[in-house]
Structure 1
Amino acid sequence: MSRPVGRVLTLLELLQSGGTRTVAELAERLGVDGRTVRRYVDQLIDLDVPVESVRGRYGGYRLAPGTALPPLMFGDDEALAVLLGLIAGRRAGLTPGGTAGETAAAKIRRVLPARIARRLDAVLDSLALTGESGALPAPDSEVLLTLADAVRHRRPVALRYTDRKGARGDRTLHPYGIVAHAGRWYVTGEDPDIDQDRTLRLDRITSARPLVGGSFEVPDGFDPADRVLTGFATAAYRYEVTLRIRGTVEQVRARLPVSVAILEECAGEDENDDEGEGTVRREPWVRGELRVERLDWLPPLLASLDRPFVIERPDELRGLVAEFADRLASFARRPV
């Protein structure tokens, strides 16, 4: 590669890093004078790279938004980061638009220099990812982009939504934020028709369009991620479980995350002092409330707490925990 061509490519890489670059800065980085920088810029423009001139004291050159993405220049670590991000996103169900992640990865892979491509192939061939690829449905790209724009500009949206029972209907939503959690995408906000908060799965939204002329305000301190996770713990399910667990909220939270249980400190039972000096509080207690569709996964989870606990309700859970404890005891007593 000739030195002028190499400098033009270096100029493109500098502009791709973002912001406005002054002629003096570019000249210093390229080791040329200002006139040569302008000539290199003209060469990029002749190649349809959207470079624009910025006037003023802090003016210079920058890349303008164009209809076509200019040629990208990746180092080894940058190319690896992009491809691994696309692969991991697709595997986790976080890449919208069906096969968009696959086609984007293929385009990047196709234009990589052979040396970098061989090194990336070695990484990808030796890489194992847990979980099934594409196990969860991805949201529609247009729906995601429309909702993201509505969140940014605080515009109400009209949605066509299918609930978990399969019923389809039209809804209006004031979207406060979009959250990706455990391979799914959610939008959370307020339904103005019923004056209640709503959290909806994006893959169940078949269409979204902004409503012209409307606006809304997001409540102070609103945290979309916290709202979605708390919603999992308070959703209407078959069983309502109440526990008292010895320990602090921080200790219990390690096993019962916010998406599973609502935790708060509570008064526990006092115990007799070993030295006969009355009763003392050994440790704080935490009350946990869970709403679940099934109880069978709770006994192993409670055992993993490794802390004393009291089941306040339901009675059925007490029986399941006792049966689980008996099974563990029988396994431990088996001869080697």
Structure 2
Amino acid sequence: MTTSTARVLALLEILQGGGTRTVPDLAARLGVDERTVRRYAGHLLELGVPVESVRGRYGGYRLAPGYRMPPLMLTDEEALAVLLGLLAARRTGLVPASAAAGESAAAKLRRVLPKPLGRRLSALLDTADFTAPARSGTAPGTDILLGLAEAALHRHPVEITYTDRQGRVSDRTVLPYGLVAHSGRWYLTAADPGAGDGETRTFRLDRIAAMTVRPGSFDVPQAFDPVAAVQDGLARTPWTHDVSLRVRADVRHIRTHLPAHLATVSALPDTDTDTDTDTDTEGQTGWARVRIRAERLEWIPSVLAALDRPFVIERPTELRTLVRALADRLHEHASAD
């Protein structure tokens, strides 16, 4: 917990003692100046705590009559689940508005827990570490995320102001099918009737500047899978390099190394293979076409080596050079004494 967060909570604790507290008194008790006290009071108001400002010679701050944070009755397992959930959301970059929201929520929870349980949970959070690095994904605005969720649930069209990856801003009305969290970002999968091609679109929520629910309703296509749609949309996003490969392996094996958000994979009929180089022997696995769109090619040769299956590079030619270079380095390393 940051020092400022701790002091904001300390201010709340003082005010819950009842009565009106003068600004100089609060400043002295918190060890800050009077301007900072006013800022902390503003933070409490933003969090929904009804802090009242009392004017006059003996004025200051007080809580609205009858307000007090209710006791939180959680078992050890429930408290652990909530705190770890908040921590996981913050580390994956998916907390709306800012990481401070998750930190503030965790601080509130720890404050109202019984002291023995609070000490044990604090010990866990202070000593635990993670093998997966924290992601710095850009979280969307809270109103955007919750508004789109309601629109998708009740199947209402929404008008959004969207900035695409080229920086172009447009206003469009879309039909929200579902929300997907992926790799530290939130995505909306939706139909875009204005595009006129009938294709499902994927929108990054952090690029949506505004949204307005419109009247009307729509039906989601039967058996529509938002996760699959987002992964397929990301795999088809145009990048610097358009890689096309044929790999002698089944789709399941290829997917263990190239998940859906990195590549599209489809089995090829026997007639699509080049008989001069791709002749199958009886009982041997057929071929699959792999399409990858990437900004850089350097990571692909090692993935192809990990597949441990025959492959043919259709394009680009630069990838062939990188694969040969990796093969030469591996041969050199294997031959070293």
What TM-score bracket applies, with the shorter chain setting the length?
0.7 to 0.9
Alignment of 1:208 with 2:211, yes or no, is yes
Partners of 2:68 and 2:93 in 1: how far apart? Answer: 27
Which residue of structure 2 aligns with residue 244 of structure 1?
A: 246
* Structure-2 residue corresponding to 1:310: 312
Which amino acid in structure 1 is aligned with residue 316 of structure 2? P
In structure 2, relative to structure 1, the CA distance for the partners of 1:285 and 1:69 (3 Å cut) is farther
Runs (4+) of structure 1 moved beyond 6 Å?
Answer: none
Q: For the structure 1 residues 250 and 117, does the alpha-carbon distance in structure 2 shift closer, same or farther, using more than 3 Å as the test? A: same
Distance 2:284 2:135 in 1: 49
CA 1:324–1:71 in structure 2 vs 1: closer, same or farther (change >3 Å)? same
Q: CA separation of 1:221/1:69 partners in 2, compared to 1, >3 Å: closer, same or farther?
A: farther
Contact 1:143-1:205 within 8 A present in 2 as well? yes
Q: What residue is the counterpart of 1:222 in the other structure?
A: 224
Q: 1:50-65 counterparts in 2 under 5 A?
A: none
Is the contact made by 1:175 and 1:189 (CA closer than 8 Å) also made in structure 2?
Answer: yes
> What residue is the counterpart of 1:179 in the other structure?
180
Distance 1:304 1:263 in 2: 17
User: Aligned pair 1:117/2:91, yes or no?
Assistant: no
Whether the 8 Å contact between 1:86 and 1:105 is mirrored in structure 2 is yes
User: Is 1:102 matched with 2:111?
Assistant: no
Matches within 5 A, 1:1-336: 71-98=71-98, 99-130=100-131, 133=134, 135-195=136-196, 196-211=199-214, 213-266=215-268, 267=270, 269-270=278-279, 280-335=282-337
Q: In structure 2, do the counterparts of structure 1 residues 69 and 173 end up closer, same or farther at CA, with 3 Å as the change threshold?
A: farther
Q: Which stretch of the first structure deviates more once superposed, 292-301 or 160-169? A: 160-169
C-alpha offsets along residues 127-150 of structure 1, whole Å, 9 cap, x if unaligned? 113455461111110000110011
Whether the 8 Å contact between 1:270 and 1:280 is mirrored in structure 2 is no
TM-score by length of 2: 0.73
| Residue pair 1:249, 1:286 contacting (<8 A) in 2 also | yes
How far residue 287 of structure 1 moved from its aligned partner, in angstroms, is: 1.6
Q: CA deviation at 1:69?
A: 8.1
Cα distance change, pair 68–255 in 1 and its aligned pair in 2 (3 A): farther
1:3 maps to which residue? none
CA contact (8 A) 2:265 2:291 kept: yes
Q: What's the offset of the Cα at 1:168?
A: 2.1
C-alpha distance in 2, partners of 1:224/1:151? 11
Q: Identity, % of aligned pairs?
A: 49
Q: Note the C-alpha offset of 1:170.
A: 1.5
How far residue 329 of structure 1 moved from its aligned partner, in angstroms, is 2.0
Distance 2:133 2:300 in 1: 25
CA distance in structure 1 between the partners assigned to 2:265 and 2:135 by the alignment: 33
Tell me the matched-pair count.
261
Q: Letter of the aligned partner of 1:208 in structure 2? A: M
Q: Structure 1 unaligned runs (5+)?
A: 1-66, 272-278
CA offset at residue 197 of structure 1? Answer: 2.1
- In the aligned structure 1, how far is the partner of 2:76 from the partner of 2:139? 29
- Check conservation: 1:173, 1:189, Cα contact below 8 A: yes
Kept in 2, the 8 Å contact 1:270–1:282? The answer is no
What are the Cα deviations for residues 281-320 of structure 1, in whole angstroms up to 9, with x where unaligned? 5222222122222211111111111111111222221111
> Matched residues in 2 for 1:256 and 1:69: separation?
49
Q: Which moved more, 1:123-132 or 1:295-304?
A: 123-132
Structure 2 distance, partners of 1:307, 1:134, is 33
1:189-228 CA distances to partner (integer Å, 9 max, x unpaired)?
Answer: 11121134211101111111101x2222111111110000
Q: What letter matches 1:210 in structure 2?
A: V
- 1:238 deviation in Å? 2.3
Deviations 1:106-157 (A, max 9, x none): 0001111111011112211221134554611111100001100110111111
State how far apart, in whole Å, the 2-side matches of 1:89 and 1:68 are.
Answer: 28
What TM-score do the two structures reach when normalised by structure 1?
Answer: 0.73
